[in-house]
Structure 1
């Protein structure tokens, strides 16, 4: 029979079930709030799968417990040592947040146990629980030799120390060998009477793929150091006698990393190579419209930086272009004084490649500021079949003629090491023929044409 309640009486509300939250290593597990500490310990051990050979305790933050328990805290955590403390802490709470404190094995006395950080639980809770290895020590300064050139052009040898990267291999520096590279640091020249020596350098090697230039004050002192990537920014133009839609895809070798495009496009990576695709509309006048974004431009541009690769032992003219290890050496380059190089380069682009004035002006404005840091410039234009494996270009429908002009250049401070290149300075070199670029064909408006122009500094 149903139980009858006296007239006018109200049903008594039942207490809401509480929640126990057990935290460890930034993760929370929740369960029903147990009535006793032993039940809470069993629930925590089961949910966190703590091995039986480990000792653990539950604790609460000081702010979660009455103030008179503060003196029992270990740091900011109050360990729940027995059920009486547990009952006081959970009294009146619908949610109780606890943290697990893990100790050594059960064979170790509590007074002597070394506490473990709970981040170990997530990665190391196995029957063969082991201690976390200490992180490796920071790298020590390594003795190196540096060839220094002062403001007056005088060269001298400097034996000093530099701080290497953590994973840098300095084995080549043993046995009197040298490591060529860029170092950034502070060079101090002391008085002749200094017992430690006149010159000290403390610095760090600049990672691969970066170069630096400096801005100086009027007095010649270094004011600012600028870090920059050794990037390449080719520009692509498309000329079509009729309006048509087309797809254009650039596929980069693994030794190149694409960092941006204009118009912007998704950069995809597959099998170690990056690809960038466009869906375009072109027509008479040279305007290129990116159908996806609606941008209308004079062409496309993409920027890439070299990725460190395996150095070739004997580069030669039969080796395809590798952006991480570009081939520009004395036997295949031309050395020109910097004061003459910009004018000579502009003349080559105009007369031999017949690049239109707008693109040529943009190209020269981009490259000239980088040249002025060096007294001489070594350069070469790559044959198209050398350049193509590093950055293949696929256009559908296919243009009737495609020309890809890519310049490699390098700043040179010691012209004496480039004797063969210096002799070629006065030689009449037909770069268009070396590249495989028929300038006359690119002036025919009736043909569907593609022209790409780019450069990269060899560091």
Structure 2
């Protein structure tokens, strides 16, 4: 998919031709897709819960389950469920029993600058935007692909994910990891992620844990640009707890009403 001037190139069969001439420059932009954020709700007693998700304009919902109405150009939805003490959720509209709520989102094409010469505007450090998401040598770790699964299991456990969530997280992303020699990854601060994908839950949970990972493949010949990130891979994984801003002790307290979400995005810039 690409944008040339004001022309969007994509694999859409409804688009038949483009006014591209010899000597024109085409700039390609791979659009990131935030995949499989899933939301678990755990309560010490059965309760009815409203879960509202609101995305910033740079995002729009692409897939949800259970299916409910999507509002505001694909940027808002509401699930109404009944929690059960075994972790199962009953979605009121359909009557479906599910283990979790599922959503995916894609970046909105209109949010990309039309001019190839346009430069991204500087943003605060503690900001998450699906279009401008990136990783660098200072905020990430870089490890060989063969060590990623073990590293993630340790990191996700430190962040408060239970065994099933860790297993689902790793096995979902493993095929994408295995396409690369080395992986750079980081976890998004929860407060920044919340501003991009706001969750409004009623009644209010005692604790909310939202873990979102960004990653990209690193060719072996580019490792010299990631010397600090390689050293950071040897740190105790507990440092991600402060980066993300979660409370893993309360997240595992079965006497509390708890919400857990995990997801990720592969970036290409």
Is the shorter-chain TM-score for this pair beyond 0.5, marking a shared fold? yes
Q: Quick one: distance in 1 between partners of 2:23 and 2:178?
A: 33
Q: 1:293 aligns with which of 79, 91, 94?
A: 94
Cross-structure match for 2:63: 260
Aligned to 2:263: 454
| CA–CA separation in structure 2 for the residues paired with 1:387 and 1:306 | 15
Q: Given the alignment of the two structures, is residue 435 of structure 1 paired with residue 241 of structure 2, yes or no?
A: no
Instruction: State the Cα distance separating 1:386 from its structure 2 match.
Output: 0.9
Matched, 1:139 2:139: no
User: Are the structure 2 counterparts of residues 400 and 138 from structure 1 closer, same or farther at C-alpha, using a change threshold of 3 Å?
Assistant: same
Q: Which has the larger radius of gyration?
A: 1
1:377 matches 2:183: yes
Cα contact 1:246–1:397 (8 A) shared by 2: yes
State the aligned residue count.
Answer: 242
Does structure 2 retain, via aligned residues, the 8 Å contact 1:321–1:327?
A: no
Cα deviations by residue, 1:314-340 (Å, 9 ceiling, x for unpaired): 45523x100011031122111111111
Secondary structure of the residue aligned to 2:36 is: coil
> What aligned pairs does 1:8-87 form with structure 2 within 5 A after superposition?
none
Output the CA distance in 1 between the equivalents of 2:124 and 2:72: 30
Q: 1:315 to 1:421 in 2, by over 3 A?
A: farther
Of 161, 165, 180, the match for 1:359: 165
How many angstroms does 1:234 deviate by?
0.5
Cα distance, 1:427 vs structure 2: 2.0
Note the C-alpha offset of 1:230.
3.0
The answer to whether the 8 Å contact 1:256/1:305 transfers is yes
What RMSD, in angstroms, separates the aligned Cα atoms of the two structures? 2.1
Structure 1 segments unaligned to the other structure (5+ residues)? 1-135, 145-163, 165-169, 171-204, 210-228
Which is bigger in relative contact order (C-alpha 8 A, separation at least 6)? 2
Specify whether residues 316 and 142 from structure 1 end up closer, same or farther in structure 2 by C-alpha distance, changes over 3 A only.
Answer: farther
Post-superposition CA distance 1:320-377 (Å, at most 9, x none): 1000110311221111111111211112112x02322222222111100001111111
* Residue in structure 1 matched with residue 7 of structure 2 by the alignment: none
Residue by residue, what CA displacement relative to the aligned partner does 1:27-79 show, whole Å, maximum 9, x if unpaired?
A: xxxxxxxxxxxxxxxxxxxxxxxxxxxxxxxxxxxxxxxxxxxxxxxxxxxxx
Q: Find the counterpart in structure 1 of residue 13 from structure 2.
A: none
Secondary structure of the 2:199 match is strand
User: What is the match of residue 51 of structure 2?
Assistant: 248
SS in 1 for 2:164: helix
Q: Secondary structure at the match of 1:389?
A: helix
Q: Is the 8 A contact 2:34 2:263 kept in 1?
A: no
1:327-346 equivalences under 5 Å are 327-346=134-153
User: Quick check: 336-345 or 352-361, which moved more?
Assistant: 352-361
Structure 2 distance, partners of 1:371, 1:377, is 7
Hey, what's the Cα distance between the residues in 1 that align with 2:30 and 2:166? 30
Q: 1:245 touches 1:279 (CA, 8 Å); kept in 2?
A: yes
Establish whether residue 277 from structure 1 lines up as the match of residue 66 from structure 2. no
- Please tell me whether the aligned partners of residues 282 and 289 of structure 1 are also in contact (alpha carbons under 8 angstroms): yes
Q: Is the 8 A contact 2:184 2:217 kept in 1?
A: yes
TM superposition shift of 1:291: 0.4
SS at the partner of 1:324?
coil
8 Å CA contact 2:54–2:199 kept in 1: the answer is yes
CA distance in 1, matches of 2:18, 2:136: 40
For the pair 1:418 / 2:219, whether they are aligned, the reply is: no
1:432 Cα deviation after fit: 1.6
TM-score by length of 1: 0.50
Q: Flag structure 2 segments of 5+ consecutive residues without an equivalent.
A: 1-16, 114-118
Q: What is the correspondence of 1:170-209 to structure 2 with a 5 Å cutoff? A: 205=28, 207-209=29-31
Deviations 1:92-141 (A, max 9, x none): xxxxxxxxxxxxxxxxxxxxxxxxxxxxxxxxxxxxxxxxxxxx973124
- Give, in whole Å, the separation in 2 of the partners of 1:316 and 1:425: 25
Between the aligned partners of 2:257 and 2:57, the Cα distance in structure 1 is 30
Cα distance in 1, alignment partners of residues 223 and 122 from structure 2: 22
What's the TM-score once normalised by structure 2's chain length? 0.83
